[in-house]
């Protein structure tokens, strides 16, 4: 029973880490290739929309897109800009899977190291003269 609670606790920690990394990944910003209208004073008659590449945030999948006319231009904010929940969930899943993969590999490597014959000798006390 206790080992099951430990595993659930470790999964919760991994999930919280994945959400935190996903939220921090919004600092990875890039533009385009999607175009969005940033105004309506373009073209020869000054009545056509002005299109610019949209600013996006998130890695590996962009989940936050700048909403022109609603928020400050070229700045991302969770409250004002467009959040794509599917891309946000995909980023969480990617980071959660990566954390679990690294954890399992590190855990198995640690047990292989502990069971190695060379490692067992390191813990034995040497006789002093």
At 94 the pLDDT is: 97
Closest Cα partner for 37 from 73, 3, 64, 13? Answer: 73
What distance in Å separates the CA atoms of residue 116 and residue 119, rounded to the nearest whole number? 5
Q: Would you write out the chain's pLDDT as a tens digit for each of its 129 residues?
A: 778 898 899 999 999 999 999 999 999 999 988 888 887 788 888 888 888 899 999 999 999 998 887 778 788 888 888 899 999 999 999 999 999 999 989 888 887 877 777 765 555 555 565
Q: What is the rounded CA–CA span in Å between residue 103 and residue 99?
A: 6
* Residue 129, pLDDT score: 59
């Amino acid at each position: 029973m206790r080992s099951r609670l430990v595993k659930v606790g470790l999964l919760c920690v991994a999930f919280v880490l994945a959400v935190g990394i996903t939220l921090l990944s919004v600092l990875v910003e890039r533009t385009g290739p999607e175009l969005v209208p940033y105004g309506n004073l373009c073209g020869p008659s000054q009545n056509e929309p002005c299109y610019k590449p949209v600013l996006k945030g998130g890695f590996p999948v962009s989940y936050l897109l700048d909403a022109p006319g609603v928020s400050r231009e070229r700045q991302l904010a969770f409250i004002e800009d467009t959040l794509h929940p599917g891309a946000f969930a995909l980023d969480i899943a990617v980071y959660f899977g990566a954390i679990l993969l690294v954890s399992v590999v590190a855990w198995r490597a640690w047990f292989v190291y502990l069971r190695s014959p060379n490692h067992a000798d390191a813990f034995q006390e040497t006789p002093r003269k």
